[in-house]
Homo-oligomer: A and B are copies of this chain.
Amino acid sequence: MPAVTFLPYDVTVEAAAGAPLLKAAAEAGLAAGFTVEAPCGGNGSCKKCRARLVSGDIYAEADAFGFILLCLSHMGETDLVVDVSVSSAETDEKGRFDETGEEIDFDGEIDFPVKQIEIEIAEPAQGDGLSDLDRLKNAAAKFFKGSQINIPLPFLAELPKCLRGGSGKKMLAYEKTGTEIQAVGLYDINFSPLGLAADIGTTTVAAKLIDADGRTVASRTAYNLQISCGHDVISRINYARDPQRRAELKRLAVKTINNLIKKLVGKNNDNSQIINVSVAANTTMTHLLLGIDPEYIRLAPYTPAVFDVPRCTAHDLCIDAAPCAPVRFAPAVGSYVGGDITAGLLCTPIGNFEQAGGEDLCLFIDIGTNGEIALGGNGFLLTCACSAGPAFEGGGVSCGMRASAGAIENVTIDDNKKPSLEVIGGGVPKGICGSGIIALIAELLRAGLIDPSGRFDDPDKRYALGGGLYITEADVQNVIRAKAAVFSACRTLVASIGADLSEINELYIAGGFGRYLNINNAKKIGLVPDLPNDKIKFIGNSSLAGAHMTLISEKFRRLQAETAARATYIDLSSEPGYMNEYTAALFLPHTDASMFRQLA
């Protein structure tokens, strides 16, 4: 089979003649920790997968600049070398693109759902009439008097070998579900269990390995390999219409997770210690990981197959952990308010309401391609979602890119209207990421280079950043539409209880994005409400933190279930005031400047 080598990463994968290069790049991405973008789903329209053919023959036409699009190119009969540095974003494991978040301070004791007991299993004896399973059940029955003990097939398949190693003393890992006992694994008595918490984002997957004390042993982030099938949830849902493509999306999500596990467990590669898995994901990602048709999420009346995923195991999902380890999903509230939000809310008084009391009015904003908003206080909880578009992740903007090495993350404009740039990792800027775009627009406004409606004074309708990078009026309009979607969603939600944004006691901003956001710039363009800075908290990847919390404590699992149950999902498209709010927000910072008085 011919092979393709991707530069600058120097990763080589085999691919059959005729195979799309975008797929080969996705496979290669696994090994090197990067992936090529294809927000359009691979139809040639977004041109994000541009690459340069270094050597070899392919079935594709190069454009006028000598570039090819990976999505429209196919392997020929011979080996290829392709340079993707023009398009790819690197995952910096230790740098900016670490979205695993901060370590959590837990209150209350650790209370894992999967527990262990030491049992002593009788040796087999001729004529005793007992199978291995009988002897195991007899030993376990001493602890679980009267309870039904369920032994799944993958557990049974490993039992004979396990029982013949060492003494009869074993550690039985189990989970209690209702009145029944679910066997999880059988180990030596010195066994150290591990847990896995994972946040499955549309763009990014982050995971942590947790020890028996509930602490993080290792954490890793990777791009979701599904990116090659579309950049946002709607593209993915469209892609998933064909059952084979749906299976492909499932396989890519699992591969992303398993690759992270491989890195997390390290060299001895013993994933059988992972007996407990907690996943937080948006509703679409949850459906795709489970192989469920997500079609009806995007069709009226927007009814997903499942909000609260039934118990399943690592084996059911092909996740590389102990086969019978339970995989528990954070429950969703609506089609566009998923488990990532019920997990994230645990990091706020809205979800962790027993600790906080919960009288204060709290607003939670998770900003990504979709913006999810929750408003809670005094026993009520309203949620909604809006489509911000990819602008804050560097998409839909001429020189946009993700917050990884080479991205401009901050801009100031001096009195001579010249830009001064801060680049992630230093060096020559390759593009501009979300926080950089926000800073740039705030500065353009301050310097009078654009007006509050985002229009350039300059006849070229653009501003040059140097090094061939620039921002156009169309880019600014994209960002204005994105920030208007988020801000007007916040306004509408708060207005629905007859309150005003100024009454918010605490504002929580979540998301990988939120961690590097300059809050003053965000206020200047009217993305977030103009509250005093001491009322605003960045909580980073709260979805992963929530998955961690529910992994190690049944109390958080219960709080999360209660939060999901009492949350009301507001569909903004059917809220009468939303369109007016949105239109009013299409201004920098807002048509009603009185809302942003603190800035003055």
Question: Which residues of A line the B interface, CB within 8 A?
Answer: 124-134, 148, 150-153, 156-157, 159-161, 164, 178-180, 290-293, 295-296, 300-308, 310-312, 316-317, 332-334, 568-569, 571, 574
Contacts and interface: CB of A to CB of B under 8 A. Distances in A.
A129 B306 contact: no
A293 to B, nearest CB: 5
B132 A304 contact: yes
17 contacts: A124-B296, A124-B301, A127-B301, A127-B569, A128-B301, A131-B307, A131-B308, A133-B305, A133-B306, A134-B307, A156-B292, A156-B305, A157-B291, A157-B293, A159-B292, A160-B292, A180-B180
B296 A569 contact: no
Nearest to A292: B157
Contact of A124 (B124, B303, B571): B303
B310 A571 contact: no
A40 to B, nearest CB: 26
Nearest to A151: B310
A568 B129 contact: yes
A569 B129 contact: yes
A151 B310 CA distance: 7
Contacts of A312: 153
Copies in the complex: 2
A144 B488 CA distance: 45
Contacts of A303: 124, 128, 130-132
A96 to B, nearest CB: 37
Contacts of A300: 126
Given A124-B301, A153-B312, A302-B126, A133 B307 contact: yes
B574 A153 contact: no
A530 to B, nearest CB: 32
A305 B132 contact: yes
Nearest to A177: B148
Contacts of A295: 160
Contacts of A317: 153
A153 B289 CA distance: 11
A209 to B, nearest CB: 25
Nearest to A159: B305
A296 B131 CA distance: 10
* Top 8 A-B residue pairs of the complex, sorted by shortest distance between their CB atoms: A126-B301, A124-B303, A131-B307, A132-B305, A133-B306, A160-B305, A160-B293, A157-B292
Given A126-B300, A305-B159, A568-B129, A178 B148 contact: yes
Contacts of A293: 157, 160-161
Given A134-B307, A178-B148, A302-B126, A290 B160 contact: no
A133 B311 CA distance: 13
A281 to B, nearest CB: 15
Contacts of A305: 131-133, 156, 159-160
A172 to B, nearest CB: 16
A580 to B, nearest CB: 21
A261 to B, nearest CB: 20
Given A153-B316, A574-B126, A132 B310 contact: no
Given A161-B293, A292-B157, A131 B310 contact: no
A295 to B, nearest CB: 7
Given A127-B574, A132-B296, A160-B305, 13 more contacts: A124-B303, A128-B303, A131-B306, A132-B303, A133-B310, A148-B178, A150-B311, A153-B310, A153-B317, A156-B306, A157-B292, A157-B293, A164-B296
Nearest to A573: B126
Contacts of A131: 303-308, 332
With a 10 A CB-CB cut-off, give which of A157, A293, A302 has the most chain B CB atoms: A157
A301 B132 CA distance: 12
Nearest to A123: B301
A124 B302 CA distance: 8
With a 10 A CB-CB cut-off, give which of A126, A131, A308 has the most chain B CB atoms: A131
Nearest to A290: B153
Contacts of A124: 296, 301, 303
Nearest to A133: B306
With a 10 A CB-CB cut-off, give which of A130, A301, A317, A569 has the most chain B CB atoms: A301
A316 B133 CA distance: 18
A303 to B, nearest CB: 4
A310 B150 contact: yes
A128 B569 CA distance: 9
Contacts of A296: 124, 132, 160, 164
A126 B310 contact: no
Contacts of A130: 303
A290 B157 contact: yes
A146 to B, nearest CB: 12
B127 A571 contact: yes
Nearest to A317: B153
Contacts of A302: 126
A319 to B, nearest CB: 13
Contacts of A574: 126-127
